[in-house]
Amino acid sequence: MTSFLLDLIKGPDEPRTVIVMDDSGVENPRQYVVRPRGLLYLVAGASAGLALVLLLLFFLTPIRSLFMGPDPEVLRETAERNALRAAALEDSLALQDEYLERLRYAIVGELDTATVSEETVDAAEPLPVTPALEAPSGPRSDDWADHQQPALAFNRLAADRRAEGDERIVETYLASLQFPALPPVQGFFARGFDAARGHYGVDHAVAEGTPIRSIGDGYVVSADWTNDGGYVVAVQHADGYLSVYKHNSRLLKNVGDRVRSREALALSGNTGEITTGPHLHFELWRNGLAQDPRLYLIGL
């Protein structure tokens, strides 16, 4: 083989006749006329093409990371995204703390100064916003006029009805809940009330997008996102009752809206961290204490 290659190199421009025949001599020999220079060009071109393909695979595919490690630019972008996610999580936790404080205030009716520091109270106050981010001047709720001061407390409802004798008062303020009430959604009962394990409500497995309905007349006191419960809406009823509806895919009401019994509040979903599938987590509170909804609702 070495002598054959040397003969080709000696005269690269002179044609060579290559005879191909098998060892047995049965088949007729075949002969080819080749020019060594053209053969060398063909080999060089094939080698260059193969090298180009290997370079493209190296630079344009993940094979590069096997030899050179992760791209510094990719690492920088990943670090920036993680920093933004950490900042967003911190803001979300702060909003969740504020939501829990507002929810406790809605249930109890006053702040616990023994456990709430001045920093927490100050943090709950609305922050100033720049004109570019200022909210629209119109009311968020269509029922904003119901909250004009002085607002009538629920516990004065019956006395005012007897004293005034005006049918408009009956229409303006909330009636007591009628128990047993219909559940907020018809679905498969998945989990019951278990205060010892921190489960202060009941779970109904339902298809995503199912309307979630209020168990009675009331006002929306919270309609926001939380990490654990996803999209959550809470309704304050008369006689100290508060109903909470969690893991919704979409909220249909704003804070301050008045809702009627069986009116749709949200669409069911699978939002939040503490969930294993589309379902509604429903809680019923009275005067700051969680109640077992199975004692108040029909069909549980």
How many C-beta atoms surround the C-beta of residue 39 within 10 A? 14
Mean pLDDT value of segment 58-64: 73
How many C-beta atoms surround the C-beta of residue 57 within 10 A? 12
Specify the pTM. Answer: 0.51
d(CA 98, CA 75) in angstroms, rounded, equals 35
Of 24-33, 56-65, 134-143, 255-264, where does the model show the most confidence?
A: 255-264
Query: How would you classify residue 12: left for phi > 0, otherwise alpha for psi between -120 and 50, otherwise beta?
Result: alpha
Mean pLDDT value of segment 262-284: 93
Name the residue with higher pLDDT: 242 or 25.
242
Least confident of 82-96, 184-198, 200-214: 82-96
How many C-beta atoms surround the C-beta of residue 120 within 10 A? 13
One DSSP character per residue, 247-274 reads EEEEE---TT-EE-TT-EEEEEB--SSS
Instruction: Quickly state the pLDDT bin for 72 (edges 50, 70, 90).
Output: confident
Going through the chain in order, the beta strands assigned E by DSSP cover: 16-20, 30-34, 188-191, 202-205, 211-213, 218-226, 230-236, 241-251, 258-259, 264-268, 279-286, 289-291
In the predicted structure, residue 133 carries a pLDDT above the cut 60: no
What is residue 199's DSSP assignment?
Answer: B
In the predicted structure, residue 152 carries a pLDDT above the cut 80: no
pLDDT at 297: 94
Instruction: Quickly state the pLDDT bin for 115 (edges 50, 70, 90).
Output: very low
pLDDT at 170: 42
CA angle, 166 then 171 then 175, to 5°: 110
Name the residue with higher pLDDT: 281 or 22.
281
Name the residue with higher pLDDT: 197 or 120.
197
In the predicted structure, residue 162 carries a pLDDT above the cut 60: no
Mean pLDDT value of segment 213-231: 93
Q: Residue 211's beta-bridge partner residues?
A: 267
d(CA 237, CA 176) in angstroms, rounded, equals 7
In the predicted structure, residue 171 carries a pLDDT above the cut 50: no
Name the residue with higher pLDDT: 270 or 147.
270
Q: Say if residue 275 is exposed, middle or buried (CB neighbours under 10 Å; 0-12, 13-18, 19+).
A: middle
How many C-beta atoms surround the C-beta of residue 174 within 10 A? 19
